[in-house]
Structure 1
Amino acid sequence: MATETTPSPIAAAALAAARRSFESLLGAQNVFFTEEDQASYQDKFAVRDEGHHPAGAVAPATVEEIQGIVRIARENKVPLWPISRGKNLGYGGSAPVLAGSVILDLSRMQKIEYDEENGTVLLEPGVSFYDLYDFLKSKGMKHWLSVPGNSWGSVVGNALDRGVGYTPYGEHTSRICGMEVVMPDAMVVRTGMGALSNSPTWQLYRYGFGPCWDQLFVQSNFGIVTKMGLWLMPEPESLMGMDLEFDKPEDLGPLIDAIAPLRREGLLQQSPTIGNWLRAAAVVTTRDQWTDKPGALSDDVIAAIRKKFNVGWWGVSLRLYGRESVNKAAYAILEEAMNRLKPMSVVPTTWKRGEPLEATGWTGTPLTFPMQNANWHGGRGGHIGFSPVLPQSGSAAMAQFRRTYDRYKEYGMDYQASFAFGERHLINVNAILLDKDDPEMMQRVDPFIRTLIADAKAQGYGEYRTHLDYMDAVEATYDFNGHALRRLNEQVKNALDPDGILAPGKSGIWPGRYAKERAA
């Protein structure tokens, strides 16, 4: 990939001409090309600080301004990197794949349209989870959000990157219903029922007539999403559940095998996440309080941390939502299944409509405290993720855990991981906690991640999302029939965007114009 240590493929004269046109269109106050501006859009959690530097940024407020920006970019052959709010921390933040790109910052676009009767919203990309929560609260909180661990981010952006949350609506991408998109030729398209002028069912029926295009714009560089319809969860009558801790690493497999059938049959509708002890501890303590020794934490230190905070090797929170009578019946089944596993602790929780609402992700309350794990090592902290998709199998998860945990030890990293349930799959989310002020550690990170990617590929597993640095490496693992998916993506990209303007390199999709920038 192009970095600041290699020549930028974007001509300086073309960039200067585009900047003048951007200022004429948006006003100088919404065009950002100083060194300070460039630094503000760089990836704060980057493994390599010299990579992915943008040339500058532009911040439109309307669809018409976006169309104008796209026309200017095409005229000058200047690539754009659209962001919603730029808070995709651990995956690249607001930085582009291709150095020298201009950030298309959509954070000024913050309109919300709410259909209270049907429980839908139509959002612009600048709406954060906090914004939408405050809006729904002002309307009486008749519907709940699903939020990720970093609620600073955009609701639209998170759904477009297949982000996940904690409630039954936690698979955010699956709740998309209708989009408005500016295409690479500046044409505005509405998908699904939105293709009918003034359609009252745009946010109610996903598919429309003919091909359904919404998912084409998820994790792609085929268009700029300017509006997105999403379904919200109606406020339930009650909530019941339990927080459980399990003592041993080998408890993971039986726990997955116990939860998986309940998830598949629909008794458990949320997307529970089984997390290890560090996932809990890293937000309430720092490493230097326990040891000054380099390398992965010893078993003795792990035992001391677990004892201090009374956490298991693994923990999971299970929740039931809906009618109280139904929840009570389901809870009895859930309780029996969990008690058979002999957890080290079980803490029940209940809530009924009208009672004060627990301020957690399980109730759709925005949160950012999980980001505190970036301070685990001190210094300029950060994290980067490795998240392959697995079958819902206890034996497969245990093998993945052992394989990955051994790699953490081999590379001297502290193991933070979780196993998140979908309806039929698991995502093994591994966080690599960084200290950017430790050069020796940072030298280990890249080979570590590439080894994890190769290990997963050997099992037939691939990641569902990844950091900018590894988009080409992950895309390369999807290799069926001589990388047929890559060839299809590139055919679509070159047909829709022959000038290669929109987000070259996103998800490993390179237009012909920048094909040589693909990492080996």
Structure 2
Amino acid sequence: MSSVVPQGVAAADFSNAIKEFAGVVGKDRVYVDEQPLSSYRDAYSPLADGEFIPSAAVAPDGVEQIQKILKIANAYKIPLWTIGTGRNFAYGGPAPRKSGYVMLDLRRMNRIIEVNEKYGYALVEPGVSYMQLYRHLRAIGSKLWIDPAAPAWGGVMGNALEHGAGYTPYGDHFIMQCGMEVVLADGEVVRTGQGALAGSKHWQVTKHAAGPQFDGMFTQSNFGVVTKMGIWLMPEPPGYKPFMITYEREEDLEAIFEITRPLKVNQIIPNAAVAVDLLWEASAKVTRRHYFDGKGPLPQSARTRIASDLKLGMWNYYGALYGPPPIIENNWKIVEEALMSIPGAKLYLDRENDPAWDYRVRLMRGEPNMTEFSIMNWIGGGGHVNFSPISAPSGAEALAQYNMIKRRCHEYGFDYIGEFLVGWRDMHHILMIMYDRADEAMRNRAYDLFGLLVDEAAEVGFGEYRTHLAFMDQIAKTYKHNDGALWDLHHRIKDVMDPNGILSPGKQGIWPKAMRETS
């Protein structure tokens, strides 16, 4: 049995709770030995091994079992950490926020409950992955597209609950969520929106019902356990035109997004347009050692060779047009004229034998794949953590963020590897800090760099929308308007809805009262 137990829980109480969990789900669905528990660690963490280790895991198969588990957890004050597919890598993966928590593993709850072809939605459980849903749609002959995040093994529900994004016109996953079933900490089951209407036929058709809309309260939070979620799916369009444009200079980033903004706001480019830096793009094809075997950031001479050899730009822009071919071609004239106006721009409508082009084209038409995960080979050693600040789709803001973050990456000895993804009126900047986990000094530098970036970005008005477990408290404290009134509100809600603090304590920096008082 694991030697770790939840903080503040007596060994006898923990043992009794484990026995009672087994009475609910069966002994083979309660994990207490080191080997099965090792699957709940963050394999890419910037922290040393031994951090964020669970004491046990319990894997229910439905709502009734969850209710019974919550009753036991409340009786013994056992902290639970909920996961769906457990693939939230670069942000902590399946690991708990604090060592000793018991994992509430919902991977067995992987049913696709409904696919509605007429209205374009699916109703899924927490364990459903993008690949599973994609294959199911193909198997039933559906003409609906999913919107996957880059790794196909990610969870449809989990990514939406974490405010994740994809690459089709349905790329804002929480916006495309419609209707939830949630088990509250006391075991009560709530359905949001029209699902609260007895016998409702329109749960996944509209988010709205009489009264407040609560769905957002259960995203990036620890106020309940979401057990079902509706997700809108995109009808297959009659036409699809992907494109890639390379730009020669780093400073072209400003012009790229000044041009992109009106195209996005007016939905001329309907999907999540993305500008990918040279090394992110190259890492799907080569490793760093192909061009440089020294320490510190890649020298400019090596970057120039990479761009030449692989026919890449300092920025590589992907987008797509969708719809009837005449409309696509009409809009394409506008897009091409605007985006090709930057000196040195090169347009590609196809790139043979290019895995980066291939996986981007597949993502933009709703086909999940695992190609992007190959960029982990750039350094070797597997370590990576994502820093994800938000800005407006402003060229000046994008360039300012890039210069600030690249400078700090280089100071700490890391390559800048990132991309900018534009929604409608927001822009996600994803910096991937890569390191060899076996190199303790390198891993520690990555951790220190991340913490510095959090504070420096906040000082100039850029907040993160999502983060790794290790930085949740720090980022929560950057949202400090009116002495942190927003997190005070989160804590007031937490204290009422989960007075024993059993649900994912510390998620996004939201702690139960007892843990706030001892921290």
Q: Within the alignment, does 1:65 sit opposite 2:65 as a pair?
A: yes
Q: What is the alpha-carbon distance in structure 2 between the residues aligned to residue 322 and residue 115 of structure 1?
A: 21
* Letter of the structure 1 residue corresponding to residue 414 of structure 2: M
Corresponding residue for residue 311 of structure 1: 312
> Matched residues, percent identical?
39
Give the corresponding residue for 1:425: 426
Change (3 A) 1:235 1:343: farther
What residue is the counterpart of 2:355 in the other structure?
A: none
- Which has the larger displacement, 243-252 or 437-446? 437-446
Alignment of 1:278-427 (within 5 A): 278-348=279-349, 360-378=362-380, 380-427=381-428
Residues 329 and 517 of structure 1, relative CA distance in 2, 3 Å threshold: farther
C-alpha displacement of 1:5: 10
Asked whether the equivalents of residues 4 and 54 of structure 2 are also in contact (C-alpha less than 8 Å), the reply is: no
Q: Secondary structure at the match of 1:173?
A: coil
For the 8 Å contact 2:171–2:272, the answer to whether it is kept is yes
In structure 2, what is the equivalent of residue 244 of structure 1?
A: 245
Q: Name the CA distance, whole Å, in 2 between partners of 1:447 and 1:172.
A: 31
* Alignment-mate amino acid for residue 19 of structure 1: I
Q: Supply the AA of the counterpart residue of 1:371.
A: F
* One-letter amino acid of the structure 2 residue matched with residue 330 of structure 1: N
| Offset at residue 517 of structure 1 (A) | 6.0
Q: Distance in 1 between matches of 2:145 and 2:483?
A: 44
The Cα of 1:412 is off from its aligned counterpart by: 0.3
Q: 1:199 to 1:153 in 2, by over 3 A?
A: same
Quote the residue 2:92 is aligned against: 92
Contact 1:167 1:363 in 2 (8 A): yes
> Is 2:145–2:365's contact at 8 Å kept on the other side of the alignment?
yes
The amino acid that maps onto 2:102 is V
**Inter-CA distance 417–204: structure 2 relative to 1 (3 Å threshold):** same
Q: Is the 8 A contact 1:411 1:448 kept in 2?
A: yes
Tell me the distance in 2 between the aligned counterparts of 1:143 and 1:5: 46
Measured in 1, the distance between the counterparts of 2:126 and 2:350 equals 35
Post-superposition offset of 1:27: 0.6
Report the counterpart of residue 47 of structure 1 in structure 2. Answer: 46
Q: State how 1:100-139 maps to structure 2 within 5 Å.
A: 100-112=100-112, 113-139=114-140
Using the TM superposition, give the Cα deviation of residue 437 of structure 1 relative to its aligned residue in structure 2, in angstroms: 1.2
For residue 490 of structure 1, give the secondary structure of its aligned residue in structure 2.
Answer: helix
Deviates more, 1:129-138 or 1:301-310: 301-310
State how 1:218-229 maps to structure 2 within 5 Å.
Answer: 218-229=219-230
CA distance in 1, matches of 2:292, 2:70: 53
Matched-pair contact (CA < 8 Å) for 1:45–1:384:
yes
- How many pairs are equivalent? 508
Q: Show the counterpart of 1:163.
A: 164
* Cα distance in 2 between the residues matched to 1:307 and 1:138: 42
Q: TM-score, normalised by structure 1?
A: 0.95
C-alpha distance in structure 2 between counterparts of 1:470 and 1:166, whole Å: 27
Equivalent residue of 2:174, what SS?
Answer: helix
Letter in 1 for 2:226: V
User: Any conservation in 1 of the 2:4–2:100 contact (CA below 8 Å)?
Assistant: no
Question: Which shifted more, 288-297 or 486-495?
Answer: 288-297
Find the aligned partners of 1:7 and 1:295 in 2 and give their Cα distance: 41
In 2, Cα distance between equivalents of 1:9 and 1:389: 37
CA distance in 1, matches of 2:43, 2:382: 9
Question: What aligned pairs does 1:27-42 form with structure 2 within 5 A after superposition?
Answer: 27-42=26-41
CA distance in 1, matches of 2:444, 2:360: 42
Q: In the TM superposition, what is the alpha-carbon distance from 1:402 to its structure 2 partner?
A: 0.8
Alignment of 1:176-191 (within 5 A): 176-191=177-192
Which 10-residue stretch deviates more, 210-219 or 31-40?
Answer: 31-40
Structure 2, unaligned runs of 5 or more: 352-358
Partner of 1:56: 56
- Paired position in structure 2 for 1:488: 489
Once the two structures are superposed, residues 402-456 of structure 1 have per-residue CA deviations (whole angstroms, 9 ceiling, x without a partner) of 1111101100001101111010011111000121011121121121011111110
Separation in 2, partners of 1:297, 1:429: 19
2:167–2:271 contact (8 Å) kept in structure 1: yes
Q: C-alpha distance in 1, partners of 2:104/2:477? A: 27
* Structural RMSD (CA): 1.7
Equivalence for 1:22:
21
Residue 487 of structure 1: how far off its partner (Å):
0.5
* Deviation at residue 359 of structure 1 after TM alignment: 6.4
Q: Cα deviations across residues 134-179 of structure 1 (Å, max 9, x unaligned)?
A: 0111122311011111110110001000111100001101001100
Q: How far did residue 358 of structure 1 move? A: 9.5
SS in 1 for 2:292: coil
Tell me the distance in 2 between the aligned counterparts of 1:314 and 1:16.
55
Bigger mean CA deviation after superposition, 172-181 or 391-400: 391-400
CA distance in 1, matches of 2:434, 2:10: 37
Higher mean displacement: 261-270 or 495-504: 261-270
Matched to 1:367, the amino acid is N
Alignment deviations for residues 272-309 of structure 1 (CA, whole Å, 9 cap, x no partner): 11110111111222222222211111111211222221
Alpha-carbon contact 1:5-1:50 (below 8 Å) kept:
no
State the alpha-carbon separation in 2 of the partners of residues 128 and 241 from structure 1.
Answer: 25
Query: Structure 1 CA distance, aligned partners of 2:200 and 2:476?
Result: 37
Contact 1:10 1:100 in 2 (8 A): no
1:353 aligned partner: none
Question: 1:342 deviation in Å?
Answer: 3.2
- The residue type paired with residue 22 of structure 2 is E
For residues 343 and 330 of structure 1, the distance between their equivalents in structure 2, rounded to whole angstroms, comes to: 22
The alpha-carbon deviation at position 343 of structure 1 amounts to 4.2
How far apart are residue 126 of structure 1 and its match?
Answer: 0.8
Question: Alignment partner of 1:215: what SS?
Answer: helix
Residue 102 of structure 1: how far off its partner (Å): 0.7
Counterpart in the other structure of 1:145: 146
- Whether the 8 Å contact between 1:240 and 1:349 is mirrored in structure 2 is no
Distance in structure 1 (CA, Å) of the matches to 2:308 and 2:8: 54
- Contact kept, 8 Å, 2:6 with 2:101, in 1: the verdict is no
Contact 1:241–1:331 (CA under 8 A) maintained in structure 2: no
Name 2:446's counterpart in structure 1.
445
- Displacement of 1:14: 2.1
Contact 1:374 1:434 in 2 (8 A): no
Assess, with a 3 A threshold, how the Cα gap between structure 1 residues 184 and 417 changes in structure 2: closer, same or farther. same
Residues 381-406 of structure 1 deviation map (CA, whole Å, 9 limit, x = unaligned): 12101111111111111111111111
**Aligned partners of 2:117 and 2:142 also within 8 Å:** no
On the 8 A contact 2:491/2:511 being kept in 1, the answer is: yes
Contact 2:420 2:429 in 1 (8 A): yes
* Secondary structure at 1:172 match in 2: coil
Query: In the superposition, relative to structure 1, how do residues 6 and 399 fare at CA in structure 2: closer, same or farther (>3 Å)?
Result: farther
2-side partners of 1:503 and 1:10: how far apart?
16
